[in-house]
Chain A
Amino acid sequence: METGTLTVKRGHAQMLKGGVIMDVVTPEHARIAEEAGACAVMALERVPADIRAHGGVARMSDPGLILEIMSSVSIPVMAKCRIGHFVEAQILEAIGVDYIDESEVLTPADEQNHIDKRNFTVPFVCGCRNLGEALRRISEGAAMIRTKGEAGTGDVVEAVRHARAVIGDINRLSAMRTDELASYAKQIGAPLELVYETAEKKRLPVVNFAAGGVATPADAAMMMQLGVDGVFVGSGIFKSGNPAARAKAIVQAVTHFNNPKILAEVSKGLGEAMVGIGLSQLPENERLAVRGW
């Protein structure tokens, strides 16, 4: 019996495909998310919109809170650690979270190095803005990838930019002759073996979700039509007028992403979406997606 293998780490993300992972800050939120049909929850002290408002250093959440959330639902529970903070990751593994998000939403602990994720038993998800960044994270051991988007804004524009960048890069790669791949790998700063694998599969070697700014069922379905495998919704649900209804609607939108009639039906009467911050109003130094490399 072997635990922590590449197959079980990547495989867990494969079980989340076609699903919605929701940020929650209390056991009550977690139960609302589960009831709405979330395939997993991300346990946090503050959603990204509040991390922005609060300012200061954002760190791993209280393990006590994460454990409370774990005991309140039967679906998988993820938690975030700071980029490069391998001890926060060890703590999250020790309490038994199902996935760790090495996240740019928290304040980075290391400006040179991401965590070496290969020797952990618990799997990791990491953010990316393009194919090179995605493959670097996978080479460090990430078993799942998500777009960075721009968390806590409710503006989907960056998630779209990052999803299109990754998928566009894969399309270019797939059209190349194999003798062109080494030079391309060097150009995007990605390990050659993973570039070969991506070219052959015509997709990332691991599951790829959208994240960072998804606020409506239409946003979620758009990301699915662009070719991601599922969706994270952070502030978009519990910063809206009717979280339970919106959560359920986004779950349905991800399953029926190609069915505009159902999308129209589930988009009705959801109340206020999160107010949000347009990306163009966000000063460069407040953008989270530039964290990590």
Chain B
Amino acid sequence: MRIGVLALQGDFEEHSSALQRLGVEVVEIRLPEDLHDIDGIVIPGGESTTIGKLARQYGLVEELKKLSNKIPFWGTCGGLVFMAADVGFDQPVLGIMDMKVERNAFGRQVESFEKELRIEGLEGPPFPGVFIRAPVVMSVGKNVKILCQVDDGRIVAVRQDNMLATSFHPELTSDDRLHRYFIAMVGETSCSTLAGSKIS
């Protein structure tokens, strides 16, 4: 299994290390030609405006949009913003998830926080949520499933088919359950593609 981690800006090394610890081969993606033979894409935390501009500069926005029909994507924080259809700012985004997000929804850095979360589909103890100038999902389309809300009901984790997005940063914790969850999503997709190709 090869997972591409978008390495334009942000904490892509933290995602790469978490995936490598779980035995996954990681490819850093900076240009469209890096996208060969990839089974899944992780879009890390970082500044979504910076990531968007750098992606647009070398034609990655269109290439990633095309790939999102085929393989699983996971965005954390800035990555969630980059995947959303509506972000409320004029900035380059993929627009592949049917949701409206609010950037920096909890406030500036002094409001950044840690909080334990219950996430649908994850067994065991609460998940350590690390929120840094984090966005929230304001509203979702009918194909988007809500996986986690904080106490006041604000949405912080969602899934739409093969796409996963979280407002918080599992890559900054030692809890690898969401990385395993994503690897399982990638496994299911590559198995079904393989099965499909056998039938044809």
Closest residue of chain B to A75 (Cβ to Cβ) is B47
B7 within 8 A of A: yes
CB pair A17–B13 under 8 Å, yes or no, is: yes
Query: Are B9's CB and A39's CB within 8 A?
Result: yes
Chain A residues with CB under 8 Å of B190's CB are none
* Given known A12-B132, A17-B9, A251-B50, contact A99–B109 (CB-CB < 8 A): yes
Asked if B101 is at the interface of the complex by the 8 Å CB criterion, the answer is no
Do the beta carbons of B133 and A76 come within 8 Å of each other?
A: yes
Are B50 and A39 in contact, CB atoms less than 8 angstroms apart? Answer: yes
Q: Which residues of B contact A4 (CB under 8 A)?
A: 110
A41 to chain B, nearest CB (A): 11
In the complex, chain A residues whose CB is within 8 Å of the CB of B13: 17
* A93 at interface, CB cutoff 8 A: yes
Asked if A12 and B109 sit within 8 Å, CB to CB, the answer is yes
Complex contact B110–A122 (CB within 8 A): yes
With A5-B114, A7-B114, A255-B8 already in contact, the answer to whether A19 and B89 are too (CB < 8 A) is: no
Chain A residue total in the interface (Cβ 8 A) = 39
| A74 with B49: CB separation less than 8 A | yes
Q: Interface range on chain B: under 10, 10 to 19, 20 to 34, or 35 or more?
A: 35 or more
Do residues B109 and A122 form an inter-chain contact, with CB atoms below 8 A? yes
Known interface pairs A12-B133, A14-B172, A74-B104; A19-B109 also in contact (CB < 8 Å): no
A7 touches B49 (CB 8 A): no
Q: Indicate with 1 or 0, residue by residue over B137-180, a CB within 8 angstroms of chain A CB atoms.
A: 00000000000000000000000000000000100110000000
* CB-based contact A1/B109 at 8 Å: no
**A18-B46 CB under 8 A given contacts A3-B110, A11-B172:** yes
> In the complex, what's the smallest C-beta–C-beta distance from A270 to chain B, in angstroms?
16
**Interface contact B46-A2, CB-CB below 8 Å:** no
B30 close to A (CB within 8 Å)? yes
Q: List 20 A-B contacts (CB under 8 A).
A: A7-B114, A8-B109, A11-B172, A14-B45, A15-B78, A17-B12, A17-B46, A18-B9, A19-B47, A37-B9, A37-B50, A39-B50, A70-B108, A98-B108, A98-B133, A122-B109, A252-B57, A254-B9, A255-B8, A255-B30
- B: which residues have CB within 8 A of A? 7-14, 30, 45-47, 49-50, 53-54, 57, 77-78, 89, 103-104, 107-115, 130-133, 169, 172-173
* Interface residues in chain A, defined as those with a beta carbon under 8 Å from any beta carbon in chain B: 1-5, 7-8, 11-12, 14-19, 34, 36-40, 70, 74-76, 93, 96-99, 121-123, 251-252, 254-256, 259
A sample of 19 more A-B contacts (CB under 8 A), given A15-B77, A17-B13, A123-B109, is A2-B115, A7-B114, A8-B112, A8-B132, A12-B112, A12-B132, A12-B133, A15-B10, A17-B10, A18-B7, A18-B10, A18-B12, A74-B89, A75-B50, A76-B109, A97-B109, A122-B109, A122-B110, A252-B57
